[in-house]
Chain A
């Protein structure tokens, strides 16, 4: 499948899954798992940083439509996309990335995927909850929400990788 079509489909599926399933689940304890950052993680390696930001902005905006958050998700998604190149560079393998492969766990190993997505999720959620509470005195809520939600999001990310991104058969 064409890589662009593939990514657009993936983005749409993740947005709908976020809006119709994960956004509606009542977790309690301030937990608010967000799975759409996975679409930002999985964009091709050679996406230009500017395009990364613009795509992330529209992903976030679409989620905002569902969650009535008026730009909060857009802001957090843009922040995550802004940090993605730096995070990828930080965890690059010794002989750098093969630009033709996709940034999935089956291609680069679960350890790599966990490190990369954990950092992106953590920054994304932290930004999101800081803006949501927007109060220094609520630092306890911000930290617990960030940590618990990040854990749940990360688990969902990895499960999605296990079930939906199987290793293509090598020839």
Chain B
């Protein structure tokens, strides 16, 4: 017994080191599966408040950019208004459209903390459960897809950015319609890769990549980026495709959280797929 105590006394520094490393690394690695790290992120109220103050100071530096972006969006929307269109056929009557049904709702939010230099990047937005944000909702900006909500608190939400290794957003190439999965390899925050496209498919540089809408996180056809490189993978019949993101993740400020009203229905229907296979 005395020897045991002597042993612990002798190695106590190393033991404490070991224990602290184990605590730190288990919280870090448990992020990969859905975590119990409920409080260890910046959706936490205190840090969220501090970061909001910081953003309040910094946001005036970006007003110009934000204004231009909003103007462009406004123009695009205004062009779609009915009073901009002249009716060619004078005899048709206006029919109240009941064929279409609202499926995706958007909530606006501001990014208050973000990173892009890591291998796995997250950012925090100032909308939480109080404004209807929930886990696994898609997040887009004016330019394109930026991430998926990962965790929420009352006033803030933590978003898994598209610059995350296991983001796995399902996407298709405009014009060819073959689909693959978006991943991030941690090298360049402007480029993500589109994996899983067979190399017997002809692909052109500059084609647009859009969301496929599987899983119900995003509506179909939201832009992600443009193809900038196509290379064969050695030993595999697949292309390695580099996609330049439309949204520069290094200057992300204003985003929309997408709520799919029909999400439950979709999940209910698709939950049996695994058993059927």
Which A residues are closer than 8 A to B by beta carbons? 16, 19-20, 23-24, 26-28, 30-32, 49-50, 53-54, 57, 60-61, 64-72, 74-75, 78-79, 82, 131-133, 138, 141
0/1 string, B102-146, CB within 8 A of A gives 1: 000000000001011111101110000000000000000000000
A71:B27 contact, CB within 8 angstroms: yes
Minimum Cβ distance to chain A for residue B34 (Å): 12
Which B residues are closer than 8 A to A by beta carbons? 12-14, 16-17, 20-21, 23-28, 30-31, 35, 37, 40-42, 44, 47, 50-51, 54, 113, 115-120, 122-124, 158, 186-187, 250
B25:A68 contact, CB within 8 angstroms: no
Minimum Cβ distance to chain A for residue B250 (Å): 5
B42:A65 contact, CB within 8 angstroms: yes
List residues of chain B with CB within 8 A of the CB of A31: 117
> With A65-B42, A66-B42, A66-B47 known to touch, is A71 a contact of B23 (CB < 8 Å)?
yes
- Closest partner residue, chain B, to A129 (CB atom): B119
* A78 interface neighbour in B12, B21, B113, B119, Cβ under 8 Å: B21
List residues of chain B with CB within 8 A of the CB of A70: 27-28, 30-31, 35, 37, 40-41
Given contacts A54-B16, A66-B42, 7 further A-B contacts (CB under 8 A): A50-B13, A57-B20, A61-B24, A70-B31, A71-B27, A131-B25, A133-B119
List residues of chain B with CB within 8 A of the CB of A26: 116-117, 250
How many residue-residue contacts, CB under 8 A, span A and B? 103
A141:B187 contact, CB within 8 angstroms: yes
A132:B20 contact, CB within 8 angstroms: no
A66:B113 contact, CB within 8 angstroms: yes
- Closest partner residue, chain B, to A138 (CB atom): B186
A53:B119 contact, CB within 8 angstroms: no
24 contacts between A and B (CB under 8 A): A19-B47, A23-B115, A49-B13, A50-B12, A53-B20, A54-B16, A60-B24, A61-B40, A65-B40, A66-B42, A66-B113, A68-B113, A70-B28, A70-B30, A70-B31, A71-B24, A75-B25, A75-B28, A78-B20, A79-B21, A131-B25, A132-B119, A133-B119, A141-B187
B41:A75 contact, CB within 8 angstroms: no
* A53 interface neighbour in B16, B27, B123, B250, Cβ under 8 Å: B16
B40:A82 contact, CB within 8 angstroms: no
A75:B47 contact, CB within 8 angstroms: no
* A32 interface neighbour in B27, B31, B117, B124, Cβ under 8 Å: B117
List residues of chain B with CB within 8 A of the CB of A54: 16, 20
Minimum Cβ distance to chain B for residue A126 (Å): 15
List residues of chain A with CB within 8 A of the CB of B30: 70
Minimum Cβ distance to chain A for residue B238 (Å): 18
* A133 interface neighbour in B14, B16, B123, B186, Cβ under 8 Å: B186
Minimum Cβ distance to chain B for residue A9 (Å): 17
Minimum Cβ distance to chain B for residue A57 (Å): 5
> With A19-B47, A69-B28, A70-B37 known to touch, is A30 a contact of B117 (CB < 8 Å)?
yes
Minimum Cβ distance to chain A for residue B43 (Å): 9
- The answer for the CA separation of A24 and B55 in the assembled complex, in Å, is 11
* B24 interface neighbour in A57, A65, A67, Cβ under 8 Å: A57
- Closest partner residue, chain A, to B185 (CB atom): A138
A-B residue pairs, 4 tightest by C-beta: A71-B27, A75-B24, A71-B28, A74-B24
Minimum Cβ distance to chain A for residue B46 (Å): 8
List residues of chain B with CB within 8 A of the CB of A64: 40
- The answer for the CA separation of A42 and B28 in the assembled complex, in Å, is 27
A20:B51 contact, CB within 8 angstroms: yes
> Which of A49, A53, A61, A132 is most buried by chain B, counting CB atoms within 10 A of its CB?
A53
- The answer for the CA separation of A69 and B186 in the assembled complex, in Å, is 15
- The answer for the CA separation of A141 and B188 in the assembled complex, in Å, is 11
- Closest partner residue, chain B, to A67 (CB atom): B115
> Which of B37, B113, B118, B186 is most buried by chain A, counting CB atoms within 10 A of its CB?
B118
